[in-house]
Structure 1
């Protein structure tokens, strides 16, 4: 008790309660604001936005009462009954397709908030053409509307009260989703069911979902269409519904049996008796008492419910974020080790490849030289075989020019073809060797570029792909001297040669001619002598051709040409390789250093992030406890029979 200075004694308790309430309101708002920031610390933008929505709702000071329930329970008809006029479109088929918010306004009108951010004002009478799905055209327009705000001069919405008419749950998935998303922004709920299908299991499940957003002390169970039930069965029906609802609410629910249709008719005809019998008058009295007496507390309680749920969500995600940071740190360590190992391995492989280049060149030259050396034996074998198969008849014995021509015609093409094949094989081997060397070098370079494209937070896709080797550029004219050897592989059998002179002497001696002229006679001794002459001729050609092969190959020096060409090619590749390997060694060292610097930077960044997450976690854990405590205190205030707070405005916050 106290004196106000005028001698009048006043009770100081209401003022103290109001001051305490305002303090809790400020604490709740501060916690919601801090929680919004902390939710973003753990990358939970959705939780942050929900906290901001609830904070904005607190600041706006509106008290939102939502009509929720399954489709065709008469929610829109009840809204019309509460308003006393047919404002909301209603039909025997599911009608409501948008969230419809009724607010106080002296002049009736509707404002459509479109999903693209625009607004559109329409007459109340045109509402059904925009917020229902009674036609394809209206359904299409409703898809573009986020919310319809309906201003109407109704006593229910005085003092910043808003009535929310929602689409029926279970009608269409998209509309159910819209209704559920709205639940986190309401302060009280009228759960509308039908006396014809009272409190089905799906409706109980819906109330379980509703309890995640609205405390049971702020839920009113409204049983519509009670006028369609025999009067003697109504009380028993309502009691049964209350018991079923209590299994979910865990407390005795407020159950009101009504006929929204009769109430609307009564208000339109100003029939007080019918209004009383409809049950809506009792519901309005209870709702008005609740709003006048407990709206401020209920609004704060709703804010703390949201705070508690969101804080729990942030705590969960903060713990997950901490675990993720630790996992990222371990992953960084493993990845750094992997990249360092790969870079070290590349540098080592490049040095090894370069040091082995001389060995590979020597091996190539040995193989190519051996093939070039073996060509003489192969050519002699071909010459011997071809000459042995020749038939030196009398005409060839007596005509050296014809004999020489026959030998050239029968022997020389095979020798030339073999020599060309050996030269081409050497050219091909040199080309393949060059291609292999360049491909190996390009592979090392591709590995470097692939590793340079990666760091601790970025991984290059696929595997390193080496560029195709430019063999022609590397070879240039180096092999021209090898292929030109084919043009120099030639020798003849003219009369000035030793072979021509020796054979000429043999076949022109009178004795041999006489013996050869008697070849047709049946004398074995003469035939043997003729055979010996032909054998001598063959041996002479073999000896001469083998000598010519050796002399020609000695002059051509195919092995030397291949060796010289390979050295020229290797010199160009080595110069290119030395530059590439030097770059690889320098870049791998630089990259390893850069990766270690990045690791330190990430460590610092993650340490700061971990600290922010830890602070957020501690705050949200404390905020959840505080919100729970405030909820219980506010619940007891709503449940008490005395006014929770003095009737003073709280919308000034």
Structure 2
């Protein structure tokens, strides 16, 4: 089990913690050597935030009675030596349940009442109102108390058809999908809309988030779950029953709610659970395996997945085997194969994405800090030439040199006004980009979509309304990219002119790639378009449901736009920080040159002493450059589990 999901996640967590420590030490080193300008500081902050807040969400999706909760118990909670998530016969998880860890919140189970569906706020907004949730404190060292508390996610209420309709669980237009009524004509609905479990489980502490979702009817009634949480999960584990294969309701969930991207099929795993129901004493092991293989092949074909991504398992036997340390039963349950698939697919992919992002960020950070080192090196080289040129010269020549430096300083100070004028033009264009990517623009688009969805007879035009909204959003991104390109051209021209006039080494930072946010919009649109299938057309006729869907959309789009805006802000900060750094270094350089002349005027040996001093400063700058390369190389290449003490020593040197 050396490559199990748990082991891989442990390694991933270790790597993240080591990286965060190295990054902190690098920041201190940069600060100590006066290399921490605004752009470098911002890149460090973003890298640290990215590393500390990195989450890996695994969503478990299934129709009722497929053994989903038992599978979660077997993979993640077998260490408690008992069931933690409720997994008895019948409907267990009645509301979507998220398991994660937040160190600022005590161990607890928080439950959002189902009645909140009658109000317009999106699920994300309710998270910010803790007093509206019912809270149950948890004792992580008491498995029995945990299991008892978690049973609450299975609680139900019985309501009238009218209330069930208002809550989204009863639809006159689709009677076959409606739940059963009791003798009094009342409908069973979940007591809770959403559950958040916060416990210090080792995997959850390292950033794992488990999303346990209920069946088709409950998924369809909660748009935010379908269009936000599930599509953003890094892995989706879809559970079928081995004895029935893909049923009609299973296929409905797969087609309507599980988006499979062609470039991301590894993140979709299908589990054929309950293979122990096929362990028939009248059949030979070979016959039993043949049945399982047939069911696996058929399921893969129906769902359009490679056969390797359909994994037969017995979650119940796997849990029993882990609790009793029964290696033979564990192998028979085939749970280790699923854990390996999760570790290689999800964790391998997640680490690869994160390391690519980190590598890019560190490379940019190295370039920013390296630029400041190069300015110092160039200024020292200029001083060296200037001083060597004074060898053998008389007092009047040295005095004339001082006058020339002072005049250069005056001319340079005058040029500052021109540089600020150029920057004000850039900032004006930037404000246009900030407006196009800002909150007010997004709010206006969502208001227009809401208005369109409230039009009478909109049912058949819903997709068209969404399509028009997304096309306007994409057009806004394209305009932002066009304006950014104009700013980039101006920056390049301005920097080239300043380099020629003042001997600067300014280099326009890499232009933001806003086109990739168009791809994010495509994914969001696809998840909504998929949700706007025939089964939800009738729901969209209800204004409150359409409003909830638009709020869910706004929540996800806000993340996309904030990321795009952040990239533009960093680009602007990088350009401004370069200019500030070179202006600052040039002013310091004038001071150092005048100081050197004064020392030469005061003592005959001052010139040689100053030349030796500058030579040692050049050597120190070269050492700084080598150290920067060494420290950032550690950050880019260091895999989890590398020898940390050596690298920590290198950083603190």
Q: TM-score range by the shorter chain?
A: 0.3 to 0.5
Q: Which has the larger radius of gyration?
A: 1
TM-score (norm 1): 0.36
TM-score, length of structure 2 as denominator length: 0.36
